[in-house]
Structure 1
Amino acid sequence: MPGPRTPTFTGRARERAELDGLLRRVRRGEGSVLVIRGEAGIGKTALLHDCARQAPGFRIMRISGVESEMELPFAAIHQLCTPMLDRLGELPTPQQRALRVAFGLAGGRPADPFLVGLATLGLMSEIAAEQPLACLVDDAQWLDGASKQVLGFVGRRLIAEPVLLLFALRDESEDQWLSALPSLPLGGLTDEDARELLAASVPGRLEERVRDRLIAETRGNPLALLELVGGMSREELAGGFGGPSSVSSRMYDTYLQRIRGLPEATRLLLLTAAADSTADAALVWRAGRALGLGRAQAVPAESEQLLVIDSLVRFRHPLVRSAAYAAADAEQRRMVHRALAEATDPAADPDRRLWHLAAATTAPDEDIAAELQRAAGRAGARGGLSAAAGFLQRSVALTHEPETRVERALAATRAHLQAGSLQAAGGLLAEAEADARTNLQRAHVAQLRGQIDWASSPGPAGPVQLLSAAARLDELDMGLARQTYLDAWIAALVADRLAEPGGHLPEVSRAAARAKATLVPSDEPADLLLHGLVTMIDAGVAAGTPSLRRAVDAFLDDPDADWFQRGGALVPAAAAYLWDFDSWAILAARLTERARRSGALAPLVTALSVQGMVAAWRGDLGPAAALLAEGDVVAEAIGGRMFPGGSMLLAGYRGRPAEAMPLIEATAAHAADRGEGLSAHAAHWAEAILRNGLGQYAEAMTAAEQALGETYVPQRKWWVLPELVEAAVRTGKAREAEDALRRLSEHASDSDWVSGIEARCRALLTEGPESERFYAEAVERLGRTALRPEHARAHLLYGEWLRREQRRTDARQRLRTAHDLFTDIGAEAFAERARRELAATGQRIRKPTLRPVTGLTPQEAHIARLARDGRTNPEIGAELFISARTVEWHLSKIFTKLGISSRKALRDALPAHTGQG
């Protein structure tokens, strides 16, 4: 039965033109990325090869995903980067360290995939500086999870690097890291191209009806056409008929049939090659010798064009690998995996050797199960959370003793949860629950179920589940109970008024305050934090203050403590709840610095949100915008999102209604959909600030009243009450203003922050000389704080009162101070309000152009500020998760927009203390 001739490349004119366009972009110095999607055999690999042929002068690097290697962390990235490691020394030290840890070349903290991604981008950029680079990634659906994460990160950041990153991915594959990249769906060949392919491939006569049926049946799938005609007799080609089937199924069946027709020893060699993931010919031959196989057994497979073994092991198609594995029985597979384990160097590749040993074992084996557990630890230390989860999951299957199996299933569940594999985590948790025998194990199951549900859908139900789990742990494991109560408190804080009954913040706080874990004294800062938070809600701010103060002081005194692992953003928040703005700012900066240093990006998103909010409170609106823009970049990179508190406060103070209102409305709508009351509260609080700045007092009052009803946190209510007082006074709602002032007075404190704003609000509701005394107190107290917007508002309200008292000269002084402060901050609506008031006193001020006429995007503005402040391109790139080359590309655009030609000129073009942005 003659096989088809190998034809030249046929068809695909549109797709080849698109790839040629990407190559032209790369030759111009621009980055390009594309994911080619299509079913098995549709021609994805052929397009990759054709692209390589059309790229003379490029450095070509190829990697391929292997199904059995999906559990080995950073396996594909290691394959890609190994030829570039001679450039490792040119990367910043944290990136070098991340790659060394990820590849097992050094010990240390787990390598964050995104820091590895930045290092990979840096290596590509260094190579591409000498000649354009094309990285071709075949069978991307079988890349290990960490490598997909890294490559998705790199693909989104190829801007000014002459690099082409090209993926081939099965059509049915869904992947969060690659789905956001540009894609090219690849369908079947046109009828004309399919006929040309058959004419070039089939010797002898091909009956027209058979040809048309084959094209229709395969839907123009080129490999299916070649394989089907290769398996047909001359008689069938000349006029035979057959029933339709799916392309992949028919191709798979064809390969299976061809493999089963091979000699038994050849089938065993094919199985050995299929069970190995390295494509290492020497390894396959070593394993083959142990099985009595040699070069002669490869000849029939090569003659059938199923396999080639030279310097590498290559299958004609991934379906051949799958069919070769499926054609064997279970005993043959175990025999082959054992031979591969014995052939694998235990020192150079212990994890792959262990994986083969585990695959060769069916009965419980405690030695292998324990080694798998240790391998999971090694994988986790390299940052391969998915791999750690896979090793642990296999360890569970090989564990006989029930209690140990439950513990390993719980550990595997946690690993899958940390890796974001929520479905796998849920399946393992069900196993653990079925075998759980002790109350502690059942409590661990409940706690993990709450965490999985919260991770999959943060919102109204999470607090109830986590609270229930914490209550079960209370008598069994106090340390874990405290952490779970803290998790429940955070969940209740986020859901706020939208939580399900039983999960509202007062209910969670009441339960936690009476729990044994909380009542038993503990001087650990995180435990003091929990005690202070729950007491603050359950018994009042004054009752919670001592524990919060001790917790904050402990965190301030020990800057190297690993405190953000437990307390996270609640640590700086505790300082804010104490009205201690300076400590809030210190702890927020420390949170960001620790997250940056560790390369932990999810905590970095949270930290940047907190620090951005602190900057906005301080009136540093430009730096706040930069911090929040950076947070958005990092959140986008990891598929997460930022809490909108900082961006809302920034929008409120900036006072640009055309920009702010769509953002505020969208945030409130999304918060309602997700059941996040705290985000809705932030949106309406920001609207109240915006409306007061614009002088739209009725709307400000409505927004403030809405925000007050959306949170249980006393301090967050207090932040809104000044907006309500001002709006109510201006709309003649004296009773509502007085009630709001009464509630403000309940937060008595020695803090100038609290006392200054209370004095400002009391002045609004007081007549005569007493009013002026309160205004003067507000100006003095708030002037001693870092809260520039609040200080400026005190001057503004004082000036407005003086104007109404017909004291125009005094009014001008206060209003001019307010106007200058707001202008420096970049608070446009409040600055305009002050300008109008000055005009009413008879002093005309030309309406300022507050927004710099530069046309810089938020990212460009951030890069410009960092460059102005002396940061190098690699330092800027490391902070913004882009390459140094991309930083230089942005700077060239910035210089053009600003009309300058050097970094030195940035100091004049961007004054260091402006709040605009």
Structure 2
Amino acid sequence: MTEPSSRLIGRTDETAAVRELLTGVSDQGAVLLVDGEPGVGKTALADAAVDQARWRGLTVLRMSGVETEADLPWATLHQLVHVLRDRVEQLPAPQRDALRIAFGEREGPPPSVFLISLATLTLLSERTTGAGLLLVVEDLHWVDRSTRTVLGFVARRIAADPVALLVTTRPGGDESLTFGDARTLHLNPLAGDDARQLLAEHAPELAEPLRNRVLDHALGNPLALIELGAAARRGDFEPDVGAPLSRRLEDAFARRLHALGDVERALVLVAAVSADARQSELVAAAGRLSGRAVDAPAVAALVEYGLLRRESGNLRFRHPLVRSAVLQSAGVQERASAHRAVAAILPPGTDRQIWHLAVTAAEPDEELAQHLENGGGRSRQSGDPRTAMAAYARAAELSPGAHDQARRTCLAAEAALEAGRVAESRALVEQVTRRTADRSLLARVAWLQELLPGGALQRGEPATAITIADEMFAAGHADQAINVLVTMAFHYWGSTPEGPAWSRMIERVTTYGAAPDDPRLLWLMAFGTPGANSAIVRARIDAMTPGEAEPEGARLLALAYDHAGAFARVRDFTRAAEDDLRRTGQLAALAMFLQTVASQHFHAGDGRRAIETVDESQRLAEEVGEPFLAMSVQAQNLLIRAHFGEDVRSATVGERYPDTAFALDYNPFQAIGAIVDGVAEAKRGRFERAFEHLRRVLDPDSPIRHWSWGDREAFPHFVDVAVRIGRHDEAAAAIDRIAGRTGLAESPVYASMLVFARAAVAGTDEAFEQAISPEHNVLPYWRARAGLLHGEQLRRRRTVSEARRHLRTARDAFDRIGATGWADTARAELRAAGEESPGTAPRPGSALTPQEERIATLAADGLTNREIAERLFLSPRTVGAHLYAVYRKLEINSRTELGAALGALRRH
């Protein structure tokens, strides 16, 4: 079979780009985003890519956005999953169930959009055989938001899979948010000679004057040249010179529709309102609409007439503008009848059926409104608040009663805020306040107003929010009132981590009926009243068994336990919470929660795991597409790296996220930034500068004072630099403040930091012996820092032999921990003490990336490639590619050797 030749006139460079995309797919996946105005040739280029792919032996899958279903969740993805339905059964159970629930094939909690994304990635990865796979996505601008999220997820993970993704769209969209660094190919109109050649091929008999008129009106648009040329041949070339070119093209197609019979018109109309391209389904719907059987000649006539085309059992419009022409030419009642005909052949109660019915509903309909509300709830829980907002708003419009209208409008306002549509949320809130006097509903609206930018909560004023919770409790919604207070506390904690409001919140939650071991209550106590309640929190959680709490409760318990200064058992609770977040695909919550996991690795002295975890946290935060989350995570990542002695600057957070950098002016960003810069300056030996940075976080009168970041992160660093510059009084005062928080001071984490700080101030051998003893100091990092400081002081006292002993121990500990910056400092001190201490010798595995080490660890634990992929949100092929690299770097040949090789790597 000979290679198909491209007949696209004037598109030499563009077809070369498609050929390059398909040529490289056997080695790695790639994405090509093609944009251009309607009719400029995007569909023709996609057709050429399909022909080329099939000639090369690639599997071809195709899907397209449809304007009428752009607000319907999973509308476009449904086209792809239907083609791959025979493989859904082989998916891992959580992914298989997620797809079935999303498409209404079974009942269950709404799955996360990222779990659906992972299921799609697995389907595509395991569908690729032979030369690879080409996935064509047309009209991205009309693809529903849920499917767009899936496509972006897939596009960022196909580097190791033989998958080529070709996407077409119109200019001016936000595709960069979906596909990141994908190559973009912009299609311009054809130049003069190329335009003339294309018209001559399709309308060779036109006289020169008429040919020139067509060229003038077509403006180099290939579809316009063909369609206006055809109109000129038929003698009905009457362009509306005042209309946009796309409208003129729609008019040209619409004129063809006038000659269609009832059956043919019914078929194109149901095809226009539905994203389902299956011929059997469209024929069935058209039969319902026309009241007559749709036979093969009717389909053939539409293909012959240039309106539809057949492709692998599907019927597709020759061009998206044909679909637009059909919709524009149909009357309101005609379109409504088509939607009802499509709904009649869909499974009852599914989101697709409900949406088609909702589009046509002209009168209030409570049953339909309830279905839409339920669908909005599923979209919201799946992580697609924008789709939820549209469903709630339409449900409100169809609600017969004023109360339900207001309630559903409130839901729409909440979803709008979650989607970042602040102006729309405000407008919807105003509608609610005009429609209801219901006390409970108005309390919810008041709470929503608190969360909007500029609300009292952001200004550190919680009184209104507490009153709102009281209103909810009085209205009989005790559990909801507790949740409101906890949500409020999360927002409030950044600006005001301590104070009387926290005691009032704890009292309220108890009054509302929270049990003593309620994770929400324990979280409030640990975060807002650390000195008074940390010991109580530790005792209550110590009495619990990890795994017994509900997933959200387990997450709150892990956070509370960590903030209360616990150490040995925290990982038992974080593991349960992390496993649930991974299983359910809650990437935003997972990205933030992994910061706590990283902190535990740091406390345990496992620097490689800590860095590996913060790196994954950053990747996931950016995956979610929430800049505030990504910025927050990066700030905390810099803090971990600063602890390990890396040369970092807090300013890089604002440089990386300039559009949201204004939030850096608020706590805890200011506190984290000051600690990052303070620790980094200390590592550079600029102790005076470090002192000033760190004092700002610990000083009780400082505007950026924050107990958690100051006491947990800055305190021992501050004492260290204060001693180095002779500010012993300030160091002692900081120790007294921490020791005065008895509940915290007695915890393993804070007791260990205190024993280091006291040794730094005392400077005695006895004090340092305690600080480097595992019995008194459970934190390997701070034991190593104690050894380093003691060795430095001994060298300056010219007790060289003892200094060398402590410096060697500190050096080796820093090497094990992975704190390379501090290990280098220990080596420099050893050289100053007269002992050469070369860097660590290169070893197998030293070049493992954090992702590779994570995958290798899971493989060594016995997980299969598929199970690892499921846990890390990757394709199985990507896991295999990483393991291949791991084997090469570790100089091993099989999975059975991984455990020993990794053990040796971490012991080094």
**TM tier, shorter chain?**
0.7 to 0.9
Name whichever of 630-639 and 306-315 sits farther off. Answer: 306-315
The answer to whether structure 1 residue 862 and structure 2 residue 858 are counterparts is no
- Alpha-carbon offset, residue 687 of structure 1: 3.5
Tell me the CA shift for residue 841 of structure 1.
4.2
Identify the match of residue 865 of structure 2 among 858, 873, 882. Answer: 873
In the aligned structure 2, how far is the partner of 1:307 from the partner of 1:807? 90
Instruction: Say whether residues 1:25 and 2:24 are aligned partners.
Output: yes
**Which residue does 1:401 correspond to in 2?**
401
CA offsets 1:514-552 (integer angstroms, 9 cap, x no match): 98556555216244135415751xxxx433436644664
What does residue range 236-635 of structure 1 map to in structure 2 within 5 Å?
A: 243=241, 245-256=243-254, 258-259=256-257, 270-292=268-290, 294=292, 305-307=306-308, 312-341=314-343, 343-347=344-348, 350-376=350-376, 388-415=388-415, 425=425, 428-451=428-451, 453=453, 462=458, 468-477=464-473, 478-494=478-494, 496=495, 504-506=496-498, 509=501, 512-513=504-505, 516=508, 519-520=511-512, 522-523=514-515, 525-529=518-522, 531-532=524-525, 536=529, 541-545=530-534, 548-549=537-538, 552-553=541-542, 556-557=544-545, 559-564=547-552, 568=555, 571-635=557-621
How far apart are residue 222 of structure 1 and its match?
0.8
Equivalent residue in structure 2 for 1:826, among 794, 818, 822: 818
Residue 159 of structure 1: aligned partner: 159
- Aligned equivalents of 1:183, 1:465: Cα separation in 2: 47
Residue identity matched to 1:486: V
Aligned in 2, Cα 1:471/1:773: closer, same or farther, shift over 3 Å?
Answer: same
Matching residue of 1:759? 755
Paired with 2:546 and 2:897, the residues of 1 have a C-alpha distance of 40
For the structure 1 residues 667 and 525, does the alpha-carbon distance in structure 2 shift closer, same or farther, using more than 3 Å as the test? farther
Conserved? CA contact 2:618–2:633, under 8 Å: no
Helix, strand or coil for the counterpart of 2:107? coil
CA deviations over 1:218-268 (Å, ceiling 9, x no partner): 43211122222333368898xx99736432232234344554676788656
The CA distance in 2 between the partners of 1:833 and 1:403, in whole Å, is 68
**Structure 1 residues 663-674: aligned runs within 5 Å:** 673-674=663-664
1:640-719 matched pairs, under 5 angstroms:
640=626, 641=630, 643-644=633-634, 646-657=636-647, 673-708=663-698, 709=702, 711-719=704-712
The aligned runs of 1:112-191 (5 Å cut-off) are 112-175=112-175, 176-178=177-179, 181-191=182-192
Give CA deviations for 1:817-866 in whole Å, capped at 9, x if unaligned. Answer: 22221222122232233334334444443344589884443333433444
Cα distance change on mapping 1:650 and 1:137 into 2, 3 Å: same
Query: TM-score, normalised on structure 2?
Result: 0.87
Q: Cα–Cα, structure 1 residues 9 and 758, in superposed 2: closer, same or farther, change >3 Å?
A: closer
Q: Which deviates more from structure 2 when the two are superposed, residues 50-59 or residues 257-266?
A: 257-266
How big is the shift at 1:142?
2.0
Q: 1:120 to 1:526 in 2, by over 3 A?
A: same
Q: Secondary structure at the match of 1:643?
A: helix
Does structure 2 retain, via aligned residues, the 8 Å contact 1:620–1:825? yes
CA positional deviation for 1:752:
4.4
Task: Provide the rounded CA distance (Å) in 2 between the counterparts of 1:355 and 1:667.
Answer: 40
Q: 1:50 to 1:20 in 2, by over 3 A?
A: same
SS in 1 for 2:182: coil
Of 296-305 and 590-599, deviating more is 296-305
What CA distance in whole angstroms lies between the structure 1 residues aligned with 2:590 and 2:501? 27
The partner residue of 1:35 within 33, 36, 48 is 33
Q: Alignment RMSD, CA only?
A: 3.7
Tell me what 1:3 maps to.
none
Q: 1:788 deviation in Å?
A: 0.4
More deviation, 820-829/690-699: 690-699
Look up the match of 1:501.
Answer: none
Quote how far apart the aligned CAs of 1:646 are: 4.7
Count matched residues.
880
TM-score by length of 1: 0.86
Could you say which residue in structure 1 is the equivalent of 2:3? none
1:744 equivalenced with 2:738 (yes/no)? yes
**Residue pair 2:64, 2:138 contacting (<8 A) in 1 also:** yes
Contact 1:338–1:356, Cα closer than 8 Å, also in 2 = yes
**For structure 1, which segment, 123-132 or 40-49, has the greater mean C-alpha deviation from structure 2 after superposition?**
123-132
In structure 2, the CA distance between the partners of 1:82 and 1:625, relative to structure 1 (3 Å rule), is same
Contact 2:33 2:168 in 1 (8 A): yes
Q: Post-superposition shift, 1:363? A: 1.5
Moved more, 851-860 or 606-615: 851-860
**Is the 8 Å Cα contact of residues 845 and 905 (structure 2) preserved in structure 1?**
no
What SS class does the counterpart of residue 193 from structure 2 fall into? helix
- Give distance in 2, aligned partners of 1:366 and 1:92: 38
Offset of 1:22 from its aligned partner?
Answer: 0.9
Q: Equivalents in 2 of 1:754, 1:327: separation in Å?
A: 73
Alignment of 1:58-69 (within 5 A): 58-69=58-69
Match of 1:13 in 2: 12
In terms of mean alpha carbon deviation, does 464-473 or 406-415 score higher?
A: 464-473
Q: Is contact 1:64–1:137 with CA below 8 Å preserved after alignment? A: yes
Provide the C-alpha distance between the structure 1 equivalents of 2:598 and 2:755, rounded to a whole number of angstroms: 27
Change (3 A) 1:450 1:547: farther
Distance 1:661 1:713 in 2: 17
SS in 1 for 2:277: coil
Looking at structure 1, the residues matched to 506 and 248 of structure 2 have their Cα atoms a distance apart, in angstroms, of 65
1:772 paired to 2:765:
yes
Give ranges in structure 2 of 5+ residues lacking alignment.
Answer: 1-5
C-alpha separation between the residues in 2 aligned to 1:119 and 1:139? Answer: 23
Q: Structure 1's 876 and 445: CA in aligned 2 closer, same or farther, altered over 3 A?
A: same
Letter of the 1:92 counterpart: P
Instruction: Note if contact 1:609-1:645 (Cα within 8 Å) is conserved in structure 2.
Output: no
- Structure 1 residue 24, shift from structure 2 partner: 0.6
Aligned partner letter, 2:61:
M
**C-alpha deviation, 1:427, in angstroms:** 5.0
The letter of the residue matching 1:129 is T
Q: Secondary structure at the match of 2:178?
A: coil
